[in-house]
């Protein structure tokens, strides 16, 4: 059982001992620290925070604990209930709120939950802000409100519709073209809120929807990370239903993957590539993804005359670099689309709308569209960390070993070779080292990963 405290929030497994897992006491402690931080930002009479959750079994319990802790601090809570991460991000500025909390452990299994923390713009906190909240949580300076100054909870269930309306009003979303394409789409909502939100936007776009695992029970029918090895059921159903494509999201709907008409993965890395190709073709500009993302985005960006930059891993880092470079589209290679015209956050709903618009405009099958992009292959691996393992020393020695290559140390160690690359970094959300490689063939990517993993284990004495 695990509790991970980081600048991006608190994440852990339900049950177990206080301070070692995400227990009710830990949820209250960190909600109180966040609420205290909110009140430190401005001096005013009324503070407001938006709170939403995915469909995890523990979600309702954790949400009640978090909301009532904020009430105890004198903060008014807008409860948007069963929701998505991007929907809460949109709701914060719409409500003129001081912040937001999404209760979700994203792609982690059902025993996990987390508090994802937002600022008044509906964006994730930066490192300095997150560190301050951790400092408050470990101190003894949390002052709760007196009885006459308690906050209140108000329910607002309009944001499903408001989020979709904002997307359908975007210039680059062509509702008429998608309706005329008469598409049939299978949706795997992994029995979370995506099972409600994704079918709804598809129906608004005039798409025939076939639902798979779309009941928001929180009982994930497969590993909720949208990777090929977890998606056999939808791949089979797309073919069986003679559908045009399949859509897969993670539990909080900020990661998006497509299945082509033959039941093959479009490639999680290529979600952003395809959407960026469409957006750049309409409005030239720059792009950003993180260091662990495919080179294909760079290739597509340069094809359209734009500039590509890579940030450290983490949505807040991608967003900051997008702002710094005036990027018009960006995100992460794990299927996260950030489209600033809507908001600065990964959003599967806008990703679906833009992708289907592009598909309708090109009048292509999904497999045909995929064939237009450079062929890169990735291998994503991880090494479980053991107590006492000096990860920083391991990464430093790997950087030294490959000093003659192009090496970046802004986030772990990324080694760029002429034809491939490897990125090594500690996870922010799990006790692991991630090892990502990319090459011109799957065999080469896997071989590079195996070589690097062997070298790491030799250095670590594993």
DSSP letter for each residue of 201-239: HHHHTT-EEEEES-S-SS--SS-SS--GGG-HHHHHHHH
Among 114, 107, 102, 111, CA closest to 14:
111
The pLDDT value recorded for residue 1 is: 54
Helix/strand/coil for 264: coil
- DSSP H/E element including 68: helix 59-72
Distance CA 353, CA 373 (A): 20
- DSSP H/E element including 438: strand 432-439
The pLDDT value recorded for residue 104 is: 97
DSSP β-bridge partners for residue 424: 413, 435
Distance CA 258, CA 266 (A): 5
**Each residue's pLDDT tens digit in the chain (462 positions)?**
578 887 678 999 999 999 999 999 999 999 999 999 999 999 999 999 999 999 999 999 999 999 999 999 999 999 999 999 999 999 999 999 999 999 999 989 999 999 999 999 999 999 899 999 999 999 878 999 999 999 999 999 999 999 999 999 999 999 999 999 999 999 999 999 999 999 999 999 999 999 999 999 999 999 999 888 999 999 999 999 999 999 999 999 999 999 999 999 999 889 999 999 999 999 999 999 999 999 999 999 999 999 999 999 889 999 999 999 999 999 998 899 999 999 999 999 999 999 999 999 999 999 999 999 989 998 989 888 777 778 888 899 999 999 999 999 999 999 999 989 999 998 766 778 899 999 999 999 999 999 999 999 888 877
- Whether this model's pTM surpasses 0.85: yes
Tokens linked to 452: 């690097």
Q: Nearest-5° angle of CA 151, CA 162, CA 258?
A: 120
Among 459, 308, 318, 344, CA closest to 395:
459
- DSSP H/E element including 413: strand 413-416
Among 257, 273, 267, 314, CA closest to 290:
314
Three-state helix/strand/coil letters over 327-340: EEEEEECCCEEECC
* Residues contacting 410, CB < 8 A, separation 6+: 291, 312
CA distances from 359 to 112, 114, 280, 368, 420 (A): 36, 35, 15, 10, 30
DSSP β-bridge partners for residue 188: 212, 248
The pLDDT value recorded for residue 200 is: 98
As a whole number of Å, the CA-based R_g of the chain is 22
Q: How far is CA 77 from the centre of its chain?
A: 24
Q: Is 106 considered catalytic here? A: yes
CB burial class (10 A; 0-12, 13-18, 19+) of residue 235? buried
For the chain, the residue count is 462
For residues 221 and 191, the answer to whether their CB atoms sit within 8 Å is yes
For residues 165 and 204, the answer to whether their CB atoms sit within 8 Å is no
The pLDDT value recorded for residue 457 is: 87
Tokens linked to 141: 């300076």
Distance CA 344, CA 285 (A): 16
- DSSP H/E element including 350: helix 348-362
The pLDDT value recorded for residue 147 is: 97
For residues 124 and 99, the answer to whether their CB atoms sit within 8 Å is no
CA distances from 286 to 40, 292, 297, 304, 325 (A): 36, 18, 11, 9, 7
Distance CA 143, CA 27 (A): 17
The pLDDT value recorded for residue 429 is: 64
Neighbours of 75 (CB within 10 A): 26
Helix/strand/coil for 460: helix
Parallel, antiparallel, or unpaired for β 184-188 and 9-13? Answer: unpaired
Q: What domains sit in the chain, N to C, each tagged with a CATH number?
A: 3-157 (3.40.120.10), 162-370 (3.40.120.10), 377-460 (3.30.310.50)
Distance CA 363, CA 357 (A): 10
DSSP β-bridge partners for residue 416: 406, 421
- The residue annotated as part of the active site, out of 8, 83, 106, 379, is 106
Q: Inter-axis angle of helices 194-204 and 348-362, to 10 degrees?
A: 30
Among 115, 114, 80, CA closest to 94:
80
Neighbours of 406 (CB within 10 A): 11
- DSSP H/E element including 378: strand 377-384
Neighbours of 186 (CB within 10 A): 26
Distance CA 348, CA 156 (A): 22
């Amino acid at each position: 059982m695990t509790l991970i405290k980081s600048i991006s929030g608190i994440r852990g497994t339900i049950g177990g001992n206080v301070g070692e897992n995400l227990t009710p006491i830990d949820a209250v402690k960190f909600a109180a620290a966040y609420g205290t931080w909110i009140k430190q930002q401005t001096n005013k009479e009324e503070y407001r925070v938006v709170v939403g959750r995915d469909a995890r079994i523990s979600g309702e319990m954790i949400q009640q604990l978090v909301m009532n802790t904020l009430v105890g601090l004198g903060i008014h809570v807008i409860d948007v209930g069963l929701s998505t991460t991007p929907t809460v991000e949109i709701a914060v500025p719409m409500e003129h709120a001081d912040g937001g909390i999404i209760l979700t452990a994203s792609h982690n299994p059902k025993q996990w939950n987390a508090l994802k923390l937002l600022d008044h713009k509906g964006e994730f906190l930066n490192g300095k802000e997150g560190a301050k909240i951790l400092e408050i949580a470990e101190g003894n300076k949390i002052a709760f409100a007196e009885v006459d100054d308690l906050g209140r909870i108000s329910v607002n269930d309009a944001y499903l519709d408001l989020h979709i309306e904002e997307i359908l009003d975007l210039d680059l979303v062509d509702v008429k073209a998608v309706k005329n394409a008469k598409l049939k789409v299978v949706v795997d909502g992994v029995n979370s809120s995506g099972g409600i939100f994704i079918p709804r936007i598809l129906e608004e776009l005039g798409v025939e929807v076939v639902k798979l695992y779309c009941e928001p029970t929180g009982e994930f029918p497969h590993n909720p990370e949208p990777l090929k090895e977890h998606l056999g059921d939808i791949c089979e159903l797309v073919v069986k239903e003679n559908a045009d494509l399949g859509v897969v999201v993670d539990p909080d709907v900020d990661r998006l993957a497509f299945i082509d008409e033959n039941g093959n993965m479009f490639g999680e890395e290529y979600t952003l590539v395809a959407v960026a190709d469409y957006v750049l073709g309409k409005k030239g500009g720059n792009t950003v993804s993180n260091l662990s993302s495919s080179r294909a985005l760079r290739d597509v960006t340069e094809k359209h005359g734009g500039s590509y930059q890579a940030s450290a891993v983490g949505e807040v880092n991608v967003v900051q670099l997008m702002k710094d470079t005036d990027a018009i589209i960006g995100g992460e290679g794990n299927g996260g689309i950030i489209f600033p015209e809507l908001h600065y956050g990964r959003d599967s709903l806008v990703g679906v709308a833009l992708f289907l618009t592009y598909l309708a405009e090109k009048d292509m099958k999904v497999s045909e569209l995929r064939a237009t992009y450079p062929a890169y292959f990735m291998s994503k691996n991880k090494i479980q960390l053991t107590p006492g393992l000096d990860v920083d020393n391991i990464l430093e020695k790997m950087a030294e070993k490959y000093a003659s290559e192009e090496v970046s140390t802004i986030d772990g160690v990324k080694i760029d070779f002429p034809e491939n690359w490897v990125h090594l970094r500690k996870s922010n959300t799990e006790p692991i080292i991630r090892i990502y490689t990319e090459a011109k063939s799957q065999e080469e990517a896997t071989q590079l990963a195996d070589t690097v993993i062997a070298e790491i284990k030799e250095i670590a004495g594993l």
